Structure formats: structure tokens, C-alpha cells
């Protein structure tokens, strides 16, 4: 597999453009704050992660094919286990239940208020 084949395979797999960069082949105008990259360096191919312009080199490979296959394995959604919900998904879930949460909160508030207002000795 070469870089062009990799870019094509990632598009076909539905991987978001902003999640990876392949210089000379796939350079999106906007990128995620965290994205993968594949590039050639003297004597090797490098697959790494860029987070807010700070690069972390994940692996070096002797051939383009190995590097491309490795990056495809990292990004292809069919090869990854389901991930736990992130904060934005949890917020959306909570907001989806906001009326129920608010109703329960008012009920708890009412119970607490009634308990405080009871005359001493009533149980």
C-alpha cells in the first residue's frame, strides 16, 4: 500500500478528513487539534500524532507499505473497539434527559422542605 492508496482507503472507510495528514497527498485545510500523520524521513517512514502542533512519534517503519498499513489500522473504524462516550456525548445525553432530571430535583427539594417544616416529634 502506498500513500495514495492509503488516502483512498481511508476515504472509503469513512474516516474524517481532519483526523489525518499525509503530506503531498492529503493535507486538509483544517485539522483536529489531535490528528495522525504519515511522512517520509531519511531512511524511514514515520506515523505519529500531532496534538496542538506538538508531535509525538508513535512508530517508525522501514517501508511505506508498513507505515501505511499501520496508520490504516489505527484509523479504520471497523478495526477499533467501541470507545466510551466522551464529555460532549455525556452532556448531550444529560441534556436529553433534562426535564426528567429537573422533575426529580424538584421532588427531592420538596421532600427535604417538607421534612424541615415538620413540627418536632413528628416522624
3-state secondary structure 83-111: CCCCHHHHHHHHHHCHHHHHHHHHHHHHH
pLDDT at 90 over 70: no
Give the mean pLDDT of 35-47. 92
pLDDT at 60 over 90: yes
Q: Which has more confidence, 92 or 114?
A: 114
Is the CA virtual torsion 68, 83, 97, 110 positive or negative?
A: negative
Could you give the 3-state DSSP secondary structure of residue 54? Answer: strand
At 86, is the pLDDT very low, low, confident or very high (cuts 50, 70, 90)? low
**Integer Cα distance of 30 and 26 in angstroms:** 11
The predicted structure's pLDDT at residue 81: 60
Q: Which has more confidence, 5 or 27?
A: 5
Cβ–Cβ under 8 Å, residues 61 and 50: no
At 50, is the pLDDT very low, low, confident or very high (cuts 50, 70, 90)? confident
pLDDT at 61 over 80: yes
**Integer Cα distance of 61 and 39 in angstroms:** 10
Amino acid at each position: 500500500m502506498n500513500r495514495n492508496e492509503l488516502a483512498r482507503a481511508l476515504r472509503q472507510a469513512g474516516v474524517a478528513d481532519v483526523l489525518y495528514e499525509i503530506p503531498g497527498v492529503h493535507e486538509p485545510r483544517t485539522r483536529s487539534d489531535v490528528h495522525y500523520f504519515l511522512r517520509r524521513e531519511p531512511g524511514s517512514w514515520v506515523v505519529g500524532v500531532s496534538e496542538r502542533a506538538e508531535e509525538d512519534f508513535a512508530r517508525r517503519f522501514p517501508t511505506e507499505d508498513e507505515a501505511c498499513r499501520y496508520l490504516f489500522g489505527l484509523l479504520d473504524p471497523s478495526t477499533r473497539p467501541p470507545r466510551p462516550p466522551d464529555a460532549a456525548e455525556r452532556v448531550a445525553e444529560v441534556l436529553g434527559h433534562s426535564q426528567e432530571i429537573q422533575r426529580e430535583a424538584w421532588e427531592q427539594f420538596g421532600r427535604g422542605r417538607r421534612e424541615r417544616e415538620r413540627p418536632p416529634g413528628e416522624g
